[in-house]
A and B are shown apart, each in its own frame.
Chain A
Amino acid sequence: MHSIPGRRIILSLFLIFLLLPIYWLVNMSFKTNGEIVSTMTLWPHKPTIANYMHIFTDESWYSGYINSLKYVAINTVISISFALPAAYAFSRYRFLGDKHLFFWLLSNRMAPPAVYALPFFNLYSAIGLFDTPWAVALAHCLFNVPLAVWILEGFVSSVPREIDETAFLDGYSFPKFFVKILMPLIASGIGVAAFFCFMFSWVELLLARTLTSVDAKPISAVMTRTVSAAGMDWGLLAAAGVLTIIPGALVIWFVRNYIARGFALGRV
């Protein structure tokens, strides 16, 4: 009813444009290096899972995934649990410096990781967290905590104040009200915020690479190692790439019905 002419075509072309490079990556991951380099084939003629087997059997490879998931999980938990009370405060109260504080928080969401790479390196080395998942998780808090505050503030504001007042009149203490009443009401908001924290922590490389060396090396950093004496190991690189797409794809699949609302950040 409000469609635009040729919308199916536009949409299909765009979706193909999105999927084609990903298909190519998947395609390559099932090829041998010999096939990749020697001929141009639209699908693997001699399909192989050797690239994947290599990753699953080599500890330095699969521990990369585990390290990445570790700091992403830590970061998401920290970001949400710190952001919730703050979001409530920004949504409900006026206090000294609230607007400036909110802006300052937001401006950190926009901070370029490149600026922080070196000082973070010094800071976390000094306090002995270098090369642990904690260093990366805390570093990612720089942009994820402000983002979580911002998203959650939108959702808390959509909960009518009367609910708070009724709960307090009914004798709920603040912590009990927060956990028993407010959090279930903004459950979808918490989900959305967690989704974004996961997303931005999972995709970031610069800080994650700078703050780790051996023990906590994330998968994205491991992937930069595929250059060997024999040239690039394209098949292995592609397989590793495919494996990094899968967690994201899974997360999207689970939240697919909330994506639209999520991207509106509870504010439209």
Chain B
Amino acid sequence: MDKTVNQKAWLLVLPVFLIVAFSAILPLMTVVNYSVQDTFGNNQFFWNGLGWFKELLDPSTDLGSRFFASLWRNLLFSGIILAIEVPLGIVVALSMPRQGWGVAACLVILALPLLIPWNVVGTIWQIFGRPDIGLLGYVLNHMGFDYNYVSNDFDAWATVVVMDVWHWTSLVTLLCYAGLKSIPDAYYQAAQIDGASRWAVFKAIQLPKLHRVLLIAVLLRFMDSFMIYTEPFVVTGGGPGNSTTFISIELVKIALGQFDLGKAAALSLVYNLIIIIVCWVFYTVMTNAGADRQANKGVA
């Protein structure tokens, strides 16, 4: 379907443009402003050029080492949770009943973690995991594991990862379930008649239909895990030491903890840039996939 060219459409878009610009561009200008200045308090600012950026991107400085450490930590975290949540989400979606009362029950339980305020998610796992009062911590310690997310790096990581899996796998599942529901029964019947194995059905029918929703799922999960703040902050406070200090936690520490506005601003800009680049890559892939589908329709 060809869209008509109509510049007046801008009038319809203008309110959205203004409100988002107000929330995005104005603050960003403040950030840019801060990022090139230094202050010694008393609201006196000095021109600092690209000084903060140089410091930020130089791993030998304190700021730079903290930035890169939290960046790698965050990338590792995003990688781990994607590797767990995407396959797990698909498997759970494939396990869902197709009809009956069970569907609504499953959907409600699945959606539940998604609507819990993020700090409460943290609180839930904080309570659940504590060795003294939490079921998980108590059971693990009585099984002979020396589990304590407050003092042990690995345990802290494991807790944060499991918490994220608990919190967000449902999103992948629900997206995939929606995708699976859109496959007509005839496809399954045809595959049965063609003698396809369970695995062949998945590869030939289900996975191709899930392609698009999976792309959305990976994008959302990558982005949200890349800016994760509240949940680990509540559970571990970024610790023990700095072991679960992700970029957002580092940023808030610098900005609101130390009031190092220049450093925080420089970090913000670089952080934002990374996100926009990743976003652009996904967007391009996605629109290309969409254009592909459009082209197919055109031939058919």
Cβ contact within 8 Å between A19 and B166:
no
Known: A21-B124, A114-B251. 15 other contacts (CB 8 A): A4-B91, A19-B109, A20-B135, A22-B112, A82-B19, A89-B10, A93-B6, A95-B13, A103-B280, A106-B279, A114-B268, A141-B23, A238-B123, A261-B178, A264-B178
**What 5 pairs across the A-B complex have the smallest Cβ distances?**
A248-B115, A119-B27, A264-B178, A112-B227, A114-B248
User: A145 within 8 Å of B by Cβ?
Assistant: yes
Cβ contact within 8 Å between B13 and A259:
no
Cβ contact within 8 Å between A263 and B20:
no
CB distance from B231 to the nearest CB of A (A): 9
Cβ contact within 8 Å between A18 and B166:
yes
Residues in A neighbouring B19, C-beta threshold 8 A: 78, 82, 138, 141, 145
Q: Indicate which residue in A15, A92, A114 contacts B3 across the interface (CB closer than 8 Å).
A: A92
Q: With contacts A2-B201, A114-B251 known, is A107 near B109, CB below 8 A?
A: no
Q: With contacts A17-B166, A263-B174 known, is A117 near B132, CB below 8 A?
A: no
CB distance from A92 to the nearest CB of B (A): 6
Q: Give the distance in Å from the alpha carbon of A83 to the alpha carbon of B20 in the complex.
A: 11
Q: Give the distance in Å from the alpha carbon of A102 to the alpha carbon of B51 in the complex.
A: 34
Q: Give the distance in Å from the alpha carbon of A267 to the alpha carbon of B216 in the complex.
A: 11
Residues in A neighbouring B264, C-beta threshold 8 A: 118
Number of A-B contacts (CB under 8 A): 298
Nearest A residue (CB) for B4: A93
User: B242 within 8 Å of A by Cβ?
Assistant: no
Contact with B along A75-116 (1 / 0, CB 8 A): 000100011011011101111101001010111111111111
Cβ contact within 8 Å between B115 and A89:
no
Cβ contact within 8 Å between A111 and B24:
yes
User: A46 within 8 Å of B by Cβ?
Assistant: no
CB distance from A122 to the nearest CB of B (A): 6
User: B229 within 8 Å of A by Cβ?
Assistant: yes
CB distance from B50 to the nearest CB of A (A): 19
Cβ contact within 8 Å between A244 and B114:
no
Cβ contact within 8 Å between A252 and B12:
no
A-B contact pairs, 10 of them (CB 8 A): A89-B9, A89-B10, A94-B9, A110-B227, A112-B275, A114-B251, A119-B27, A141-B19, A202-B115, A248-B116
Residues in B neighbouring A19, C-beta threshold 8 A: 109
- Name B139-192 residues within 8 Å CB distance of A: 166, 169-171, 174-175, 177-179, 181-182, 185, 188-189, 192
Cβ contact within 8 Å between B256 and A118:
yes
Q: Indicate which residue in A17, A82, A260 contacts B174 across the interface (CB closer than 8 Å).
A: A260
User: A265 within 8 Å of B by Cβ?
Assistant: yes
Q: With contacts A21-B124, A95-B10, A237-B127 known, is A28 near B174, CB below 8 A?
A: no
Q: Give the distance in Å from the alpha carbon of A267 to the alpha carbon of B211 in the complex.
A: 12
Residues in A neighbouring B15, C-beta threshold 8 A: 82, 85-86
Interface centre among A8, A90, A92, A117 (most CB of B within 10 A): A117
Q: With contacts A95-B7, A119-B31 known, is A15 near B138, CB below 8 A?
A: no
Cβ contact within 8 Å between B115 and A94:
no
User: B111 within 8 Å of A by Cβ?
Assistant: yes
Cβ contact within 8 Å between B170 and A161:
no
User: B271 within 8 Å of A by Cβ?
Assistant: yes
Q: With contacts A1-B192, A4-B94, A96-B7 known, is A259 near B111, CB below 8 A?
A: yes
Cβ contact within 8 Å between A24 and B111:
no
Cβ contact within 8 Å between A108 and B134:
no
CB distance from B71 to the nearest CB of A (A): 13
Interface centre among A92, A115, A220, A252 (most CB of B within 10 A): A115
